[in-house]
A and B are shown apart, each in its own frame.
Chain A
Amino acid sequence: MKSYDVIVIGAGHNGLIVASKLASSGRKVLLIEAGETYGGMARSEVLFEGFQAPELASNAFGISKDVVQDLGLSKYEILFNEDGLKTVGLNTENENVIFGSSFGKSIEGIGKEEFKRWKELREKFFNQSHLFQRLASQIPVGSNHKTFGSKVNLFLTAAKLRLQGREQFQELLRMITMCIADLVEEELETPSLKGLISFDSTLGIKLGPRSPTSYLGLLYKLSQIKASYQEKSLSIHGGVTSFINALFKSAEENGVDFVFKGKVSSIIISDSVATGVKLENGMEYSAKTIVSSISPVNTFLDLVGAQNLETDLTRRIRALRYSGNTSKLNIILEEIPKLNNSQNLDENYRYVYAPSLASVESNFNSLKYNELPSDPNFEIYFNKISSESSLNGAVMASICIQNTPYSLKGDWKNSKEVLMKKVISTIQKLAPDFSKGILFKSLLLPHETEKKYCVAGGHWHHSELQIDSLYSLRPTFDVSDYSTPIDGLFICGAGTHPGGNLFGLSGLNAAKKILRESIK
């Protein structure tokens, strides 16, 4: 049996970060991945005629600057969006709203008065997002983790919020658990602007704009923008892949060993101490430290097994809300289609179809009852393909469809086609030539993501990013400090604090925790 200092399970971005960071401290690290290649849910897949692209992650709001600096990733080529990403709020009835970069610093298509009100609201949003931004890079203070430093940081975070002034602080307390619908309706008038903000607040989480605490979804997103590397998002064109490649190179250079196509079947545990892992093909590896970057549900229930865990913990893990609610539609088109107004759809924009707040809410209502939305909301990125093959010049449209149920009432057999048709016909209304040029299309539903990417529920965030599962409650209060009741086993996936997209801080925080533990 081969022996290592550290075994990392899952080569998603968090797994790569942990592996690279721990290897750079001189440890012998093995990274085991079930898939054929690294990248996890951001990995590239062959989609059509040899064309490769990330099947799920088309863009990320930002990767943490701490991650970039800590691992020295700037020496690799990471493709950022230099000008920031603009968003077009598509609308079949009114004029489209163009939302400037950095979450609407400028907006085209709305009146002066409206923009003035938006500016104030936006400033308030960003001020309040400070709460998350500061806490994101800290190991949560909880029942297991109560160091002086972390307590001081928690106190300073609260103090800093309070020092913004009495009025600001009261405003934060008023708003923090509110729904995003009430907040935008208080201030704004333009339906598509309200729709756009509601969409961004609730994308990927199982809340509608009228659900209490849906504002937190927005705060979370904004904090990521602020904490990201130079406040930039990854480029639509190969940005995600360049980031994942940089992480892989960094891990490789630090001497991490890799095993691909090696699905871990169980973590070997004797007397509540993890001593190694066992793969499905029968191979075994031993290590004193095992780090799992996969979902906490998979880690605890499948790899550790309920027989090694307290009933209290398995109860909490099983009670996590982890069924995915977003599906991904990839379409390859001959060329970039034109909009109604004969404007080209621009490949540097993000397009969101969420025409109004009511539309986003009614989409969520369908999700609640496990039904397909009648008029689905979605976002699109267009990505020009440049390759040697016949596809050169074609365009890939990555479409992320919000509020797709994990378990549909009835079955998916026909509904999958129906959902695709609904989305395409909506685009068709905006860009009449769209469907003519379709060369290839494929829809990945949450339950298919679950199977293909080995993530329970097929949830992007591994478990819901909501008020009851943030900070020291993520994934549950007793395992929120990345350690687990199994000695030597740590968790570092998106299901831990702070989670979220390609942020990468879950991995970095976990690595710091492991380094600190082993010094002791």
Chain B
Amino acid sequence: MIQSKEKNDRDITFGKPLFRSPFYDFFAAQETEGNWYNWNGYKSPTIVSDEELEYFSIRSTCSVFDITPLNKYRIVGSQAVEFLNKLTVRDVAKQNVATVKYTLWCDQDGFVIDDGTLFRISDNDFRLCSQEKHLPWLIDTSHGFDVEIIDESKHVCGISLQGPTSASILRLLGVNGIDNLKPFHLFQTKISNIPIMISRTGFTGDLGYEIFLKNNVANKFIERVWNAGTNHGITAIGYNALNMARIEAGFIVANIDFISSDHAIRANRCRRPDDLGLGWIVDLNKGFFNGKRAIINSKLEDSEVFKIYALEIDGKEPAEGSIIYYNKKDEVGTVTSAIWSPMTKKSIALAQLKLGSSKSKIDNLWVEIYSLKELQYHKLMKKVSIVKPPFVNLSRRSACPPAKC
């Protein structure tokens, strides 16, 4: 009774009736901050109890993050590969069964609609996970293909276990084959008779796994994981901690680091894969796909466009939302994501910059940071250097088998 009363109290702060993931009760029992946000219509924790501790659990023990709110589309049918080859920019025919690929898809102008991960479960069975909702686009694209698109977002839930001890926890749970699971590979197994799909993927740049399962077994499953992890520092985390880790890993997020062409109202906000630093994903040698012609044509033009860069900034102030200048006076772009990185001990950022084709501007970039200190802004002009992402490159991320710790 007491528990349910608490829940009601909490809900008053929310105006919207939000969905609750099957793991909601688990996170609600842990959280102390009352800091929730609306992720894709789900009530999701921003912070569970302590942002820093949660971040360090990703880097030194094991974190548990609820990825249920992700959009999950099942793509099944004899022409699933052909369909995905039209939809996405990679050559799906080259993707092996039981692997996961990071991919993206474009509109007819070659502008990126969204990025996501594509799980090849079997020859003609795929799962596509994305940040934004795309069911109408997928269904319209599937016209003319023998393929069925199923939105399983509400029927399948997911948990992301990220951190150095994540493999050990899965070993304790009796997951055979975890030692042989290479990065971006997946397999299906059972934990205490609960069928799961496990893949060595994540959004942290660390050793980690994503696990998908049916909603009805979620509570039983998370209890097993939690109990197995008690001696391995397992910690429930919210979005803020994950966000720090993903910036360190140099991952971009749709509608934070770039505007999805689906959402953009202003035509010049749309970005092509090259502009996002993801040109290497695009396979121009495969057959027709959405946006191919526009992408090829854009390579011929020499127009000045905004591109995403990874930046290191002098000093220790995070530069969130700051403007970047050339020669301290000409605006060249804006920071889209920034933190002070605990791993590199530096202020790092992702930014959209328009630098033109000449490299001359690169050595003379500055960021204007307004740092609020006890009701007074300190206006700082800090030197910026462009680096190659990721900011943090951990060998354990790809070590196979993962270390026992």
What is A's interface to B at a CB cutoff of 8 Å?
271-272, 301, 305-315, 318, 478, 485
CB distance from A485 to the nearest CB of B (A): 7
* CB closest residue in chain A, given B144: A306
CB <8 Å contact, A310 and B144: no
With most chain A CB atoms within 10 A of its CB, the pick from B108, B140, B288, B293 is B288
* CB closest residue in chain B, given A314: B143
CB <8 Å contact, A312 and B108: yes
Residues of B within 8 Å of A313, CB to CB, are: 108
CB <8 Å contact, A315 and B140: yes
CB <8 Å contact, B108 and A307: no
Tell me the complex Cα distance, A318–B144, Å: 11
Tell me the complex Cα distance, A271–B82, Å: 15
Residues of A within 8 Å of B293, CB to CB, are: 272, 485
Q: Does B107 contact A (CB under 8 A)?
A: yes
Contacts A306-B145, A485-B293 hold; do A311 and B288 have CB atoms under 8 A apart? no
CB distance from A137 to the nearest CB of B (A): 30
Residues of A within 8 Å of B143, CB to CB, are: 301, 306, 314, 318
A-B contact pairs, 25 of them (CB 8 A): A271-B288, A301-B143, A301-B144, A306-B86, A306-B145, A307-B82, A307-B86, A307-B144, A307-B145, A307-B288, A308-B288, A310-B107, A310-B108, A311-B86, A311-B107, A311-B108, A311-B140, A312-B107, A312-B108, A313-B108, A314-B140, A314-B143, A318-B140, A318-B143, A478-B108
Q: Does B287 contact A (CB under 8 A)?
A: yes
Q: Does B235 contact A (CB under 8 A)?
A: no
Q: Which of B145, B287, B290 contacts A310 (CB 8 A)?
A: B290
Q: Does B102 contact A (CB under 8 A)?
A: no
* CB closest residue in chain B, given A487: B293
CB distance from B130 to the nearest CB of A (A): 15
Tell me the complex Cα distance, A305–B287, Å: 14
Tell me the complex Cα distance, A315–B108, Å: 11
Tell me the complex Cα distance, A301–B144, Å: 8
CB distance from A314 to the nearest CB of B (A): 6
* CB closest residue in chain B, given A305: B144
Chain B, residues 111-155, CB within 8 Å of chain A (1/0): the string is 000000000000000000000000001001101110000000000
* CB closest residue in chain A, given B113: A311
* CB closest residue in chain A, given B138: A311
Residues of B within 8 Å of A310, CB to CB, are: 107-108, 290-291
* CB closest residue in chain A, given B87: A311
CB distance from B286 to the nearest CB of A (A): 10
* CB closest residue in chain B, given A485: B293
Residues of A within 8 Å of B292, CB to CB, are: 272
With most chain B CB atoms within 10 A of its CB, the pick from A309, A311, A485 is A311
Tell me the complex Cα distance, A314–B107, Å: 12
CB distance from B82 to the nearest CB of A (A): 6
Residues of B within 8 Å of A478, CB to CB, are: 108
Tell me the complex Cα distance, A478–B143, Å: 19
* CB closest residue in chain A, given B141: A311
Tell me the complex Cα distance, A306–B291, Å: 14
CB distance from A103 to the nearest CB of B (A): 42
Residues of B within 8 Å of A307, CB to CB, are: 82, 86, 144-145, 288
Interface residues of B in 209-253 (CB under 8 A from A): none
User: A-B pairs with the 7 shortest C-beta distances?
Assistant: A306-B144, A310-B108, A312-B108, A311-B141, A306-B143, A315-B140, A308-B288
* CB closest residue in chain A, given B83: A307
* CB closest residue in chain B, given A313: B108
Residues of B within 8 Å of A305, CB to CB, are: 144
Tell me the complex Cα distance, A305–B107, Å: 18
* CB closest residue in chain B, given A486: B288
Q: Which of B87, B107, B287 contacts A271 (CB 8 A)?
A: B287
Tell me the complex Cα distance, A313–B140, Å: 10
* CB closest residue in chain B, given A310: B108
With most chain A CB atoms within 10 A of its CB, the pick from B108, B290, B292, B293 is B108
CB <8 Å contact, A314 and B288: no
Residues of A within 8 Å of B290, CB to CB, are: 310-312
Tell me the complex Cα distance, A305–B82, Å: 13
CB distance from A252 to the nearest CB of B (A): 37
CB distance from A487 to the nearest CB of B (A): 10
CB distance from B189 to the nearest CB of A (A): 36
Tell me the complex Cα distance, A312–B144, Å: 14
Residues of B within 8 Å of A272, CB to CB, are: 288, 292-293
Residues of B within 8 Å of A301, CB to CB, are: 143-144
Tell me the complex Cα distance, A315–B292, Å: 17
CB distance from A463 to the nearest CB of B (A): 17
Tell me the complex Cα distance, A381–B287, Å: 53
With most chain B CB atoms within 10 A of its CB, the pick from A309, A310, A315, A478 is A310
Tell me the complex Cα distance, A313–B293, Å: 13
Tell me the complex Cα distance, A272–B287, Å: 9
* CB closest residue in chain A, given B105: A311
Tell me the complex Cα distance, A483–B145, Å: 25
Tell me the complex Cα distance, A271–B291, Å: 13
Tell me the complex Cα distance, A18–B148, Å: 40
Residues of A within 8 Å of B291, CB to CB, are: 310
* CB closest residue in chain B, given A315: B140
Residues of A within 8 Å of B141, CB to CB, are: 306, 311
Tell me the complex Cα distance, A313–B143, Å: 12
CB distance from B317 to the nearest CB of A (A): 43
CB distance from A422 to the nearest CB of B (A): 38
Tell me the complex Cα distance, A448–B107, Å: 37
Residues of A within 8 Å of B137, CB to CB, are: 311
* CB closest residue in chain B, given A300: B144
Interface residues of B in 284-308 (CB under 8 A from A): 287-288, 290-293
Tell me the complex Cα distance, A381–B137, Å: 48
Residues of B within 8 Å of A308, CB to CB, are: 288
Tell me the complex Cα distance, A308–B86, Å: 8
Beyond contacts A306-B86, A311-B87, A314-B143: 11 other A-B pairs, Cβ-Cβ < 8 A, are: A271-B287, A301-B143, A306-B144, A307-B82, A307-B86, A307-B145, A309-B288, A311-B107, A311-B141, A313-B108, A318-B140
* CB closest residue in chain A, given B107: A312
Residues of A within 8 Å of B288, CB to CB, are: 271-272, 307-309
Tell me the complex Cα distance, A125–B143, Å: 43
CB distance from A311 to the nearest CB of B (A): 4
Residues of B within 8 Å of A311, CB to CB, are: 86-87, 107-108, 137, 140-141, 290
Residues of B within 8 Å of A485, CB to CB, are: 293
Interface residues of B in 85-122 (CB under 8 A from A): 86-87, 107-108
Residues of B within 8 Å of A271, CB to CB, are: 287-288
CB distance from A476 to the nearest CB of B (A): 12
CB distance from B104 to the nearest CB of A (A): 15
Tell me the complex Cα distance, A478–B287, Å: 22
Tell me the complex Cα distance, A19–B397, Å: 64
